[in-house]
C-alpha cells in the first residue's frame, strides 16, 4: 500500500499553509508552528489560535528588540520550551515562522513550499 505524501490538500492558501505547517511540525517534532507578519499578525499555523495570535504579536519584538519584552514572557508563552524564529519570504515580503521545541534547522524546502502555497494565481485565459 503506497502512502500519499500529502493527503490533506486545499486550494485556499491559508488552509494549505495550516496543513503544510502541521506536516512540518510532525516531521521536525516542533510544536505550535506559527507564520506571522513583521507587524505581528497571525497568518497561518498549528495548534491553539489564541496562543498563535499572542506568539505572532511578540515575534517581531523577540527578533528585533528582545530587551523590550517582559522577563519571562517567552517562557510563559512556550510553557518553558525554546522558541525559534526563522525568517521566510512570501511574495517578496518578510515574515516570521515561529516554533516551540528542540532546536532544529529549518530546511530551504520550507521557503520553497511557502513560495508555492502563496504564489499569485496564474491569470485565467478565456477560450
Instruction: Say how far apart CA 102 and CA 13 lie, in whole Å.
Output: 28
What confidence tens digit (pLDDT) does each residue in 75-115 have? 999 999 999 999 988 888 899 999 998 877 777 788 888 88
* Residue of 16 and 119 predicted with greater confidence: 16
Taken in order 19, 116, 113, 99, is the CA torsion positive or negative? Answer: negative
What confidence tens digit (pLDDT) does each residue in 46-60 have? 989 999 999 999 999
Mean pLDDT of 51-78: 92
CB contact at 8 A, 91 and 22: no
* Residue of 102 and 125 predicted with greater confidence: 102
pTM assigned to the model: 0.79
Mean pLDDT of 22-45: 91
- 15: Cβ contacts below 8 Å, ≥ 6 apart: none
Instruction: Say how far apart CA 71 and CA 38 lie, in whole Å.
Output: 22
Kindly report the number of other CB atoms within 10 A of residue 95's CB atom. 21
Question: Which of the four CATH numbers 3.30.450.30, 3.40.50.2000, 3.40.50.620, 3.40.50.300 does domain 13-117 have?
Answer: 3.30.450.30
Query: What φ, ψ does residue 39 adopt, rounded to 5°?
Result: -85, -5
Indicate the pLDDT class of residue 3, thresholds 50, 70 and 90.
Answer: very low
Q: What value does the mean pLDDT of the chain take? A: 84
Amino acid at each position: 500500500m503506497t502512502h500519499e505524501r500529502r493527503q490533506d490538500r486545499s486550494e485556499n492558501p491559508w488552509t494549505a499553509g495550516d496543513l503544510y505547517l502541521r506536516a512540518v511540525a510532525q516531521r521536525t517534532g516542533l510544536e505550535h508552528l506559527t507564520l506571522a507578519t513583521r507587524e505581528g499578525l497571525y497568518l497561518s499555523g498549528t495548534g491553539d489560535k489564541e496562543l498563535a495570535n499572542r506568539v505572532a504579536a511578540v515575534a517581531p519584538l523577540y527578533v528585533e528588540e528582545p530587551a523590550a519584552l517582559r522577563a519571562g514572557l517567552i517562557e510563559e508563552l512556550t510553557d518553558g520550551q525554546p522558541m525559534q524564529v526563522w525568517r521566510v519570504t512570501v511574495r517578496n515580503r518578510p515574515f516570521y515562522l515561529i516554533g516551540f521545541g528542540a532546536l532544529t534547522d529549518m530546511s530551504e524546502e520550507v521557503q520553497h513550499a511557502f513560495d508555492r502555497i502563496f504564489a499569485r494565481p496564474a491569470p485565467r485565459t478565456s477560450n
